[in-house]
Amino acid sequence: MHILIANLGSTSFKYRLYQMNGQDECVLASGGFERVTDYAEVIQQALAELVDQGHLKSIEDIDAVGFKTVLGKNLSGCVDADEKVIAALDGFREVAPAHNPPYAAGIKLFQELLPQSRLVALFETAFYQWIPESASRYAVPQSWYDAGIRRYGFHGASHKFVAERSAELMGREDVAEVVRNLYQDGPRTLSGKPLRVISFHLGGSSSVTGIRNGVAVGTSMGFSPQSGLPQNNRVGDLDSGAIPFAIKTLGISMEEAEQTLTKKSGLLGVSGVSNDLRDIRQAAAGGNPDAQLALDQLIHSARQWAASYLFDLGGLDALVFTAGIGENNAWLREAICADLEDFGVEIDVDKNNACQAQEAIISSDQSKVKIIVIPANEELVLAREVTRKIS
C-alpha cells in the first residue's frame, strides 16, 4: 500500500512516500519545495518525480494521501479529507492563518489530481479529544464556548508517537496497544498501575503534554498555536488584558498587535537576537543578558507546565523529550531536569551528553522516573493512521 504524506506550509510543500504492508513500513522517497508560489505546479512536479524515479509505476498507484491538518472548526480526529474538512479549515482560517489556507487549497488540488486516491486528514487536535472539559474549557460564557473558543492543543501526532513508543520502552504493551487504536476505538480502561508520562515537544514551536495510559490529560497549547510556552517568534501565554492596554498605550492597531505577538515575540522578542535557539545560546554565552533571559524563560515555562500535570497524573513514571530542540540539546534537558531528585527524577549527565538526536534512556540507574529521548516521527504516525483508516 502506497501512502503519500503531504505537508503544506504557508510557502512550502514537503512530501514523503511510504510503503505500508503490515509491520513492514518503508520510506520510498521524500522531498520538498521552498518559497512556493504555485502549489499546483510543485505538487504535479513531485508526483511526476515519484514516477520518473521509479518509486511508482504511475500516480494511480498512490492508495491514499495523508494531511497533517492543524485545527478545524467543530471537527477533529482522523477523518476523510472531504468538503467537511475544507469547511472546518476555512472556519478557523483566522486562528491558524499560516496552516489552514494552504491545507484547504492542497486538499482541493489533490482531489483534482488524484481522484482515485483516498484523502485523509489527521488533525493535530485529535490526540486531545478526551481531555476532561474541566481542563479544556476556558472560564468564558457559554456563547463563547459554543463559538469554538476552548483549549484544543497541538503537536498531537508528535505526542501520540511519544505515548506509544514510551509505553513500548517501559514494557507496557497494553498501553501501546491503546495508543495504536486510540482514534478508532477511543480510550480503554486498563487494570493495574497507570503509566504516567510527561512529554516535552521542544522545537520551533513547543508544547508539554501530560499522558495517562496513552491518553492526554492536559496540554500547554490552547485555542491557537500562539499559546503555551514561549515559541520561536510567538508570545506563548499572555494575559488578555495586555492586548487592549498595548493598543492604547503604544498607539498601535489590533493588526499591529497581532503581528507583534505572532511574528516578533517569543524567544526572538525577548532575546532581541534571533528566533534560533543556537544563536540565542551563543549570544548568552557571550554575555548578552537578554539572550540568557530568553533561555531562562523557556526552561521555566517547560518546568512549570510539567509540574502542573503531576497532580492530575497522580505521580510520574517517565519524562520524554522530542522534536528538534529537545532531541539535540543536552544542556536544555539537563536544565529542565535540574534539582528534581526529591521527585525521583535524576538525569545521568554522561548518558545525556552522549545522546544527540537518537533514542535513548538518559536517566541514572537510581532514578525512579525514566528520562527518555524519542526522536519525533510525525509523518510515520500519519502514515499509520491513514493505513488504519482505509484498511
Can you say which residues are annotated as belonging to the binding site for Mg(2+)? 7, 378
Binding residues: 7, 14, 276-278, 324-328, 378
Q: What is the DSSP letter of 236?
A: -
Question: Which residues, 6+ apart, have CB-to-CB distance to 59 below 8 Å?
Answer: 47, 50, 51, 113, 114
- How far apart CA 384 and CA 79 sit, in angstroms, is 13
Q: Tell me the binding residues for ATP.
A: 14, 276-278, 324-328
The CA–CA distances, whole Å, from 126 to 79, 99, 249, 264, 390 equal 10, 16, 39, 29, 17
Count CB-CB contacts under 10 A for residue 260. Answer: 16
Contact 348, 364 (CB under 8 A): yes
Cα(194)–Cα(299) distance, integer angstroms: 28
d(CA 127, CA 178): 12
Helices (H), the chain: 39-52, 83-91, 100-113, 133-136, 142-146, 156-169, 173-180, 182-185, 242-250, 254-263, 266-271, 277-285, 289-308, 310-313, 323-328, 330-336, 349-354, 378-390
What is the total residue count of the chain?
Answer: 391
Provide the grid cell at 113.
Answer: 489530481
- What DSSP character marks residue 347? B
Q: At what angle do helices 156-169 and 173-180 cross, to 10 degrees?
A: 160
Sign of the four-CA dihedral 200, 201, 202, 207: negative
Rounded CA gap, 235 and 301, in Å?
12
Kind of pairing, strands 24-33 and 196-201? unpaired
* Helices 100-113 and 39-52, axial angle in degrees (round to 10): 50
Please state, as a whole number, how many other Cβ atoms lie within 10 Å of the Cβ of residue 74. Answer: 10
